[in-house]
Amino acid sequence: MRRLFFSAIAVSFLISGLAFTGADAAAASKRPAPMAFIDPAQPACFSRSYSAAHMASHPRQTVTDIAFIYLPTQVIDGETVQHWVADGEFQSLTFFIAVRLRNGAMAPLMGAGVCQPTGGNRLACGLDEDSGTFDLRTAKDGYMLENKSNFVVMPATGNYHNDSRNSTVIDRRDDHDAFLLRPSRGGLCDARFPPRTDAADWN
């Protein structure tokens, strides 16, 4: 499988999380510069729920709901894990993506990865374990998620390394090449991977 354009070191750094306390926490609390259209210090979610009429007119589309979720921090075992990096020229955000599928369970399938600003109002994003890439950019009526390849999602309780048999491929050819998302709260935006301490898993 082709490698993401993100360095393995950077991705591993964000996967394991940057735990900080004391002086480190004070330093990290300094407000970071915006990354494209996202303020790293504030949570953000962009989502879409497709109507029955839309789904009927797109019979190949399987995604009924989709959300791009960004959280500045997450508490794991009492430690605050930071989901953004603004270190010199390297800037990145850790994100989660959640989808529901036609005739599927209400519990979402999820993926996680890293986005980097690429200039202007665009983020280039890659899912962990070579599970796909996409761009997220501003659009006239919201934010466009442009699927650059098939991407892979799995149950939120799954393990990317050991449970790939439960993964689902979102094939861009099945009317999944682009999703128009809008700022949202609640619903699928509340989907979470459970906190993990095993570095082999997403936290």
The answer to the question of residue 15 being in a domain is: yes
The answer to the question of residue 201 being in a domain is: no
Residue 143 lies in domain: 8-28+36-190
The answer to the question of residue 113 being in a domain is: yes
Contact 147, 176 (CB under 8 A): yes
The answer to the question of residue 198 being in a domain is: no
Give residue-wise pLDDT tens across range 17-63: 333 333 344 444 577 888 999 999 999 999 999 999 999 999 999 99
- Contact partners, residue 23, CB within 8 Å, separation at least 6: none
The answer to the question of residue 148 being in a domain is: yes
pLDDT at 113 over 60: yes
Q: Which H or E run includes 143?
A: strand 142-147
- Mean pLDDT (the chain, rounded): 80
Burial grade of 1 (CB within 10 A; 0-12, 13-18, 19 or more): exposed
- Section 103-128 average pLDDT: 91
Closest CA to 96 of 115, 116, 81, 120: 115
Closest CA to 41 of 53, 28, 32, 54: 32
The answer to the question of residue 200 being in a domain is: no
The answer to the question of residue 12 being in a domain is: yes
The answer to the question of residue 173 being in a domain is: yes
pLDDT at 197 over 50: no
CA distance 114 to 124: 8
For the chain, the domain total comes to: 1
Give residue-wise pLDDT tens across range 124-173: 999 988 889 999 999 999 999 999 988 999 887 655 444 556 789 999 99
